[in-house]
Amino acid sequence: EIVLTQSPGTLALPPGERATLSCRASQSISSSYLAWYQQKPGQAPRLLIYGASTRATGIPDRFSGSGSGTDFTLTISRLEAEDFAVYFCQQYGSSPMYSFGQGTKLEIK
Amino acid sequence: EVQLVESGGGLVQPGGSLRLSCAASGFTFSSYEMHWVRQAPGKGLEWLSYISSFGTTIFYADSVKGRFTSSRDNAKNSLYLQMNSLRAEDTAVYYCARGHLWPVRVFDYWGQGTLVTVSP
């Protein structure tokens, strides 16, 4: 079973700063199968990044993804008020077919 | 516009059953794989089930295997989750989600969720 561990658990930054969120897999995964989602309170998750680095439709270019093997990163270049939310990474593999990290809460400092 | 609307959630006693529905619109439902994902209050996301575009292949997470059954009716553009032998730990918001077209393995659209509460 592949376990995704996200860090930090909570990240407090002011608007305009750069945010770097980490997702580490317990074993190597294909970058093709690593995605990131954003979830705001009371809302469903929204797909941000897939294939580790490809932005989903309509996602601003201040969001970028990178990484390979076991270490993946979501970067938000200049935080805007609407970016403060919880972020989850997700992988596709086997047993379970899909799994998520526990999430990183990005809050306003 | 792609829309997924879940329904059927509510309060149920431990050991009881519930059937969730997900009504899809704005896309060719029969062309897409579908999933159920849940989120316990204040917790993370847990994938539960995958169903292929024609319903011929279904996979489940170990936590619900043997208790939950996913199905779909492409003529009605609808996805279903039959939940039996419910436990307190099944309390969560249940989302249906569309699977991105192959080979991308992500959930590209989500419903707003329906809350299931398992309590005496």
Number of Cβ atoms within 10 Å of the Cβ of B11? 12
Q: What's the pLDDT tens digit per position in B32-70?
A: 999 999 999 999 999 999 999 999 999 999 999 999 999
Q: Which residues have a Cβ under 8 Å from the Cβ of A84 and sit 6 or more positions away? A: A106, A107, A108
Question: How does DSSP classify residue B115?
Answer: E
How far is CA A101 from its chain centroid? Answer: 9
- pLDDT tens track for B68-99: 999 999 999 999 999 999 999 999 999 999 99
Which residue in the set B61, B104, B109 is minimally distant from A50, CB to CB? B104
**By three-state DSSP, how is residue B10 classified?**
strand
The Cα–Cα gap between A79 and B117 comes to 36
* Residue A93 identity: G
How many angstroms away from the CA of B15 is the closest CA of chain A? 25
Please state, as a whole number, how many other Cβ atoms lie within 10 Å of the Cβ of residue A20.
12
* pLDDT exceeds 90 at position A1: no
pLDDT digits (tens, 9 = 90+) for A34-65: 999 999 999 999 999 999 999 999 999 999 99
Report chain B residues whose CB lies below 8 A from the CB of A88.
44-45
Q: Give the pLDDT band (50/70/90) at residue B20.
A: very high
- Check if the beta carbon of residue B34 is closer than 8 Å to that of residue B97: yes
Q: What is the pLDDT of residue B104?
A: 84
Residue A96 is predicted with a pLDDT of 72
First to last CA, chain A: 36
> By a Cβ cutoff of 8 Å, what residues of chain B touch chain A?
35, 44-47, 50, 59, 61-62, 95, 100, 103-113
**Poorest-pLDDT segment among A6-15, A26-35, A54-63, A87-96:** A87-96
The answer to whether residue B29 scores a pLDDT higher than 80 is yes
